[in-house]
């Protein structure tokens, strides 16, 4: 049975309201705002709140403020109980999320109808929101499955890419968070960082198009072979640009940008588009540093692993190309976290 929470400091009012709703709802009572919040946190069957405005300990508006902060007013309709004619208090209540006002004395039939109608409206709305949430979650799973499928294809082509892409994902998140802490202009919401981390997994998807004799050559590439290897960035962008529309648009856009531009450099000497400075998106810049660090500290068919100290010196010293100074600062200040991700 659905539950109505009645909050009023006067016992007679609580009992009158409980009597009105007893045939259709379970009723529970609180005599002040603190008790009401305790019951709201404890009882998940509450489908409506009848809330007195003027009460000792904690008044109704304070309860509403807390319900708004927690998001409870989006799920549970709140009816203000008042004998007051104070327009300012009622308006504040409406602004905080109250749906209606119950004035004293109570008219039972009228009050039941109003509360029933609003509860039914919220029931349908909550049900619809649940369906929407399920579809969003399903889409996220489809997106993740698509990303993992493409990353697995790269793994089969390039024996180093399997663990490499997993580490890049963690390193990208670590560096994005540190960069946002140090420089507010780069701060991002958690959800955006997670999307970029997922997109980073596909940074080398263009290697699918690179011939095996070049991709897995045990020795140093010739100048001609290196030019072919460099095409993986543009080819990765082309692959992602033509991917089926099943992938989320934001994830696809980040994946495309990272795949195409993770070899661009701050001074314009990268590839394939010779972008310079802030022409390169910050997420592509971050994946570039993460990719360089992991590649340097990992054994590859064409080289042994460098030590961590050697890798840091090479990145900071410009041997891997020139990077955004703020990004290098964040890299150095998140170095211990990078080491944990690498392990």
Residue % of the chain over a pLDDT of 70: 86
CATH number of the domain at 75, please.
Answer: 3.40.50.2300
Residue 272, pLDDT above cutoff 90: yes
Domain membership flag for residue 129: no
How many helices, marked H, and strands, marked E, lie in the chain? Answer: 14, 5
Residues 47 and 149 in one domain: no
Question: Residues 201, 56: one domain?
Answer: no
> Which token pair is 169?
């994902």
Residue 2 CB neighbours (<10 A): 13
pLDDT value at position 35? Answer: 95
pLDDT at 269: 95
Could you give the C-alpha distances from 226 to 177, 221, 318, in angstroms and in order?
33, 6, 19
Per-residue confidence band for 106, with pLDDT thresholds at 50, 70 and 90? confident
pLDDT per position as a tens digit, 107-145: 888 888 889 888 888 887 777 766 666 766 766 676 666
328 located within any domain: yes
CB-CB neighbours of 132 under 10 Å: 10
172: Cα within 13 Å, side-chain hemisphere: 32
Q: What's the average model confidence in pLDDT over 230-235?
A: 95
Structural domain contains residue 258: yes
Residue tagged 């509860």 (tokens): 119
End-to-end CA distance of the chain, in Å? 52
Lowest mean pLDDT among 61-70, 145-154, 162-171, 221-230: 145-154
What is the rounded CA–CA span in Å between residue 169 and residue 164?
Answer: 9
Q: Are strands 26-30 and 100-103 parallel, antiparallel or unpaired?
A: unpaired
> Which of 106, 125, 144 represents a domain boundary (last residue)?
106
- Which of the four pLDDT bands, split at 50, 70 and 90, describes residue 279? very high
Convert the pLDDT of each residue in 241-252 to its tens digit.
887 665 678 888
Tell whether 199 and 273 lie within a shared domain. yes
- Check which CATH number belongs to the domain holding 176 and give it: 1.10.3210.10
Distance CA 279, CA 285 (A): 10
**Element holding 79 (H helix, E strand):** strand 78-82
- Letter string b/e over residues 77-107, b meaning 16 or more CB atoms within 10 A of that residue's CB: bbbbbbeeeeeebbebbeebbbbbebeeebe
Assigned domain for 76 exists: yes
In a domain, residue 122? The reply is no
Angle formed by the axes of helices 325-333 and 335-342, nearest 10°: 70
- The residue whose two tokens read 């799920």 is 75
State how many domains the chain has: 2
The answer to whether the beta carbons of residues 55 and 63 sit under 8 Å apart is no
Asked if residue 174 lies in contact with residue 334, where contact means CB atoms within 8 angstroms, the answer is yes
258 lies in the same domain as 154: yes
d(CA 77, CA 89): 18
Q: What is the pLDDT of residue 289?
A: 96
Dihedral sign (CA 109, 115, 118, 123): negative
Question: Which range, of 60-69, 144-153, 176-185, averages the lowest pLDDT?
Answer: 144-153
Q: What percent of the chain has pLDDT over 90?
A: 52
Instruction: Give yes or no: residues 312 and 217 share one domain.
Output: yes
Q: Are residues 196 and 55 in the same domain?
A: no
Q: Which residues pair with 101 in a beta bridge?
A: 80
> What average pLDDT does the chain have?
87
Are residues 256 and 204 part of one domain?
A: yes
pTM: 0.61
Q: Which residue has the tokens 């990353």?
A: 151
Give the integer Cα–Cα distance in Å for 340 and 282: 23
Domain with 231, as residue range(s), is 134-342
Does residue 235 carry a pLDDT above 80?
A: yes
SS3 state of residue 155: helix
Instruction: Please list the active-site residues.
Output: 207
Q: Is the pLDDT of residue 296 over 80?
A: yes
Ranges 21-25, 81-85, 267-271: which has the least confidence: 81-85
Same domain, 312 and 230: yes
Residues 88 and 184 in one domain: no
Provide φ and ψ at 66, rounded to 5°.
Answer: -70, -40
pLDDT tens digits for range 141-175: 766 666 766 776 666 666 555 577 788 899 999 99
**Stretch 215-238: mean pLDDT:** 91
58 with 94, same domain? yes
pLDDT attached to residue 305: 85
């Amino acid at each position: 049975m659905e539950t109505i929470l009645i909050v009023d400091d006067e016992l007679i009012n609580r009992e009158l309201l409980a009597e009105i709703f007893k045939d259709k709802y379970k009723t529970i009572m609180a005599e002040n705002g603190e008790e009401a919040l305790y019951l709201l946190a404890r009882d998940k069957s509450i489908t409506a709140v009848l809330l007195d405005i003027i009460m000792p300990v904690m008044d109704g508006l304070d309860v509403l403020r807390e319900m708004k902060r927690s998001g409870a007013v989006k799920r549970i309709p709140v009816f203000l109980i008042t004998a007051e004619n104070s327009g300012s208090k009622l308006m504040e209540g409406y602004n905080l999320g109250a749906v209606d006002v119950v004035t004293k004395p109570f008219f039972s039939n009228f009050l039941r109808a109003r509360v029933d109608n609003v509860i039914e409206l919220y029931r349908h709305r909550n049900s619809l929101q649940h369906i929407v949430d399920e579809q969003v979650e399903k889409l996220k799973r489809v997106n993740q499955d698509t990303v993992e499928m493409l990353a697995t294809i790269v793994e089969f082509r390039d024996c180093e890419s399997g663990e490499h892409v997993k580490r890049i994902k963690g390193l990208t998140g670590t560096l994005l968070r540190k960069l946002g802490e140090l420089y507010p202009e780069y701060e991002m919401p958690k959800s955006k960082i997670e999307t970029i981390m997922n997109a980073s997994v596909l940074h080398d998807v263009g290697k699918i198009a690179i011939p095996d004799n070049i991709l897995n050559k045990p020795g140093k590439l010739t100048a001609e072979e290196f030019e072919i290897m460099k095409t993986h960035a543009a080819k990765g962008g082309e692959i992602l640009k033509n991917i089926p529309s099943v992938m989320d648009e934001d994830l696809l856009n980040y994946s495309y940008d990272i795949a195409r531009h993770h070899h661009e450099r701050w001074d314009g000497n990268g590839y394939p588009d010779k972008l310079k400075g802030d022409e390169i998106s910050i997420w592509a810049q971050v994946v570039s540093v993460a990719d360089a660090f992991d590649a340097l500290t990992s054994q590859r068919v064409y080289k042994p692993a460098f030590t961590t100290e050697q890798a840091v010196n090479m990145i900071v010293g410009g041997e891997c190309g020139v990077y955004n100074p703020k990004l290098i600062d964040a890299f150095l200040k998140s170095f211990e976290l990078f080491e944990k991700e690498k392990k």
